[in-house]
Structure 1
């Protein structure tokens, strides 16, 4: 699987170096729409590729689409998306200012008592979808990435990421100049009372910190060889 995935990524990258970022993303999204790299291809309604501004310096990366996302083809449009948009607005940010996507582009779910329920993606599913994520990041070239939840942080920051200890910390990595992680909105929605309010405030604060980090990164001198 690993070698096949690497080869597929190389093939995708070979002829996508020209055109605007929007055009290049559109081409990658069209290819992703017919992806059969994992078993989720057999159960999806459609691929949920991404949403937002291809020129954005800030990218948000979640875990996987759910029922509403699978139906609409857009990430974060269910209850978690409503919460995320509200927290973005508190920072004077809308989706036209960012680009948002997930580790996995198809909905993982199980069927219990005749009803489909969301489930976390498997490592195999994450690995199969990783070329699409890496290609997206390579095109957009964000200055800052904010991971929504530990699964994204495990891929984009480091393995074994502990949200309770490392949330809000900034890391320098291969995918962006600065990367941090915050609570996934779906996790916050499972909380109640003071715990919900505290986690929501932290999400708002972490988005504010990401916005500030973008400003700082834009002011930093670009590294050159000479």
Structure 2
């Protein structure tokens, strides 16, 4: 018999209630990633679900040693219900291949599980989640982490850094530095692929991409 879906609270978690890497004591962790993904579809921890097509859970190996955390689903991820399948995902796939990281041996997810956007004609433009939305959604990220038990977590972009480490940090100054997380995991930070897609300077874009490849290579080495 399948385990019952966990009760999802109707109110967001208050900032500062838990330490990074811990689940609220009043909510049980889903028994597996499939149940977590199903439970996410009825999440009401913040208001982002109202304008999103669906919640987008992480995917990949359930025992991955490396977890890669992005910021939030984009337009294509929101429609398909899968993380990193849009232009930024294609760039990440390329960087992972260059770094020797097998995507099928990792777990990729996002800090925020619903697409935050604003309409602009027929387009839906990305909006950065605020701190409260990141905090409210952190329960899901922590639950994924509890289930997968990665040895290394690579946070891509400022929103992911906030979700993983519980505080903001300048990526340019902290990338390449190992940081301890709860549960004996190692945390690293790097640039989000979408950051490169927005860069008009080809040389700056190439440098950021090379640094992302280096950070993926280091994360994979530490996870081995």
| TM-score, normalised by the number of residues in structure 2 | 0.85
- What's the CA shift string for 1:6-42, capped at 9, x where partnerless? 7x944542673xxxxxxx1111111111112221111
Question: Is 1:79 equivalent to 2:87 in the alignment?
Answer: yes
For residues 160 and 184 of structure 2, what CA distance do their matches in structure 1 show?
Answer: 14
Q: Distance in 2 between matches of 1:199 and 1:15?
A: 37
Cα distance change, pair 188–14 in 1 and its aligned pair in 2 (3 A) = closer
How many residue pairs match? The answer is 207
Q: CA deviation at 1:92?
A: 2.5
The residue aligned with 1:206 is 215
2:9 aligned residue: none
For structure 2, list consecutive stretches of 5 or more residues without a partner in the other structure.
1-11
Aligned twin of 2:6: none
Match of 1:107 in 2: 115
Task: Give the secondary structure class of the aligned counterpart of 1:47.
Answer: coil
Query: Which of 149-158 and 58-67 deviates more?
Result: 149-158
Give how far 1:176 is off.
5.0
Note if contact 1:103-1:126 (Cα within 8 Å) is conserved in structure 2. yes
Distance in 2 (alpha carbons) for counterparts of 1:89 and 1:111: 34
CA contact (8 A) 1:144 1:176 kept: no
> What residue ranges of structure 1 are gaps of 5+ in the alignment?
17-23, 216-226
Is the alpha carbon distance of 1:123 and 1:175 closer, same or farther for their aligned partners in structure 2, counting shifts above 3 Å?
Answer: farther
**Aligned-pair RMSD on alpha carbons?**
2.1
Matches of 1:15 and 1:154, distance apart in 2 = 23
Does 2:109 correspond to 1:98?
no
- Larger proportion of helix: 1
